Structure 1
Amino acid sequence: MPYEWTQEPPHDKSHWQLCLWPYRSLLRKDFVLFMGATALIIALPLITLVGTIILWALLPFFALMFWGLWTALNISYRRGEVLEELTVDDTTAHLTRHNPKGPLQEWEANRYWVTVHLHPKGGPVENYLTLRGGDREVELGAFLDAAERLTLYDDLRRALRAD
């Protein structure tokens, strides 16, 4: 699961933190291996064309394809650098969303008035998950898939009820 629970101190259920982040199927070290393998696959057919004019005709297209793939994967990594932190103590629930570009988003409410809501069909996505407290309702885990949001909903309900 792309989220992690932290309790402070270890056996105190009234102080905890939840960190959420998008799932990464291609890690940075695998990115390097993938790009290296792609370069090798591109180079193998070009080796047969060494010394011909056709090599110079094809080389810009292969270079453009390689650059486009590199750029697209880097943009995907930057967009996925989202981190949501929900910190709960005796009196307050505080949600902070670190966006890859743009301002930091924060939400705070009295812990005892915070409720977790799951909208199976009514939200923009399946199993739309929100926190409601005070005068605002905020989305949580927009980047998670439907099954992960459902699991997180159950975990959050238990955690917020534990006193």
Structure 2
Amino acid sequence: MPYEWVKSLPDVPEDGSDPVAELHLWPYRSLPRKGFVAFFAITSLFIALPLVAVIGSKVLWGLLPFIVLVMGLMWYMLERSYRDGDVIETLTLWPDRIHLLRRDQKGKTHTWECNIYWAKVSLYPTGGPVPNYVTLKGNSREVEIGAFLSEDERKELHSELVLALPRAARKQ
């Protein structure tokens, strides 16, 4: 799952200064960095193998610019994909408040905070930008959470949040 509860609800401090629970969300990566290196090594090998037959001829120099262009473009597009996926959301629950921090791919941070008693979790099966759109509402503002998750993961996230918010509020 591309999200995890870093701090669970049973480990509640008595003074209420530390968060009761913390949830980290991030986009799914189908190709991790180690896979990226392996993919490029294998692709380079498969491209270089047929070039062995044309070493020493003018054909090699005709093909080489296109091969370099394709490999450079593939490198750039995969790096861009990694940069676009550098989104992380952190939801922190205290007995008296809830805080959402979102860092987008450009490094800009967006925050939302409200009293945990007034926070409401909503699931929109249709009508949102994505199916099973999950939002948090409070302080006269509605914010999305986990829009980059899959449909099933958003459903599961919604059910976990519906249970976690009241449990965190009762820990006071």
TM-score by length of structure 1 reads 0.95
**2:25 — aligned with what?**
20
- In the other structure, the counterpart of 1:150 is 155
Q: Which whole-Å CA distance do the structure 1 matches of 2:8 and 2:163 have between them?
A: 17
SS, match of residue 54 in structure 2: coil
The 3-state SS of whatever aligns with 1:126 is: coil
Task: Give the Cα–Cα distance (whole angstroms) in 1 for the partners of residues 146 and 92 of structure 2.
Answer: 14
**Is the 2:11–2:20 contact (alpha carbons within 8 Å) kept by the matching residues of 1?**
no
CA deviation after TM superposition for structure 1 residue 16, in Å: 0.5
1:107 aligns with 2:112: yes
Q: Distance in 2 between matches of 1:133 and 1:102?
A: 25
1:89-148 Cα offsets, whole Å, 9 max, x none, are 011100000112052100000011101000001211100110001110000011111111
1:64-103, Cα deviation, whole Å (9 max, x unpaired): 0000100000000011011100001011100000112052
Moved more, 119-128 or 12-21: 12-21
Pairing partner for 2:131 from 126, 132, 139? 126
Residue 59 (structure 1) aligned with residue 48 (structure 2): no
Structure 1 regions of 5+ residues with no counterpart? none
Q: Report the counterpart of residue 16 of structure 2 in structure 1.
A: none
Distance 2:86 2:10 in 1: 28
Q: Displacement, 1:161?
A: 2.0
Aligned to 2:4: 4
Amino acid at match of 1:117: S
Q: Indicate the larger mover: 110-119 or 1-10.
A: 1-10
C-alpha distance in 1 between matches for 2:109 and 2:25 = 15
In 2, the alpha carbon distance for the partners of 1:74 and 1:6 equals 28
- TM-score (norm. length: structure 2): 0.90
Offset at 1:12? 2.6
Identity rate, percent: 49
In 2, Cα distance between equivalents of 1:133 and 1:9: 22
The number of equivalent residue pairs is 163
Question: 2: distance between equivalents of 1:158 and 1:102?
Answer: 31
Matches of 1:143 and 1:52, distance apart in 2? 50
Quote the Cα distance in structure 2 between the aligned partners of 1:100 and 1:122.
Answer: 25
Distance 1:161 1:92 in 2: 11
How many Å separate the matches in 1 of 2:12 and 2:161?
16
* Unpaired segments ≥5 residues, structure 2: 14-18
CA RMSD, aligned part only?
Answer: 1.5
State the 1:7 CA deviation.
Answer: 2.3
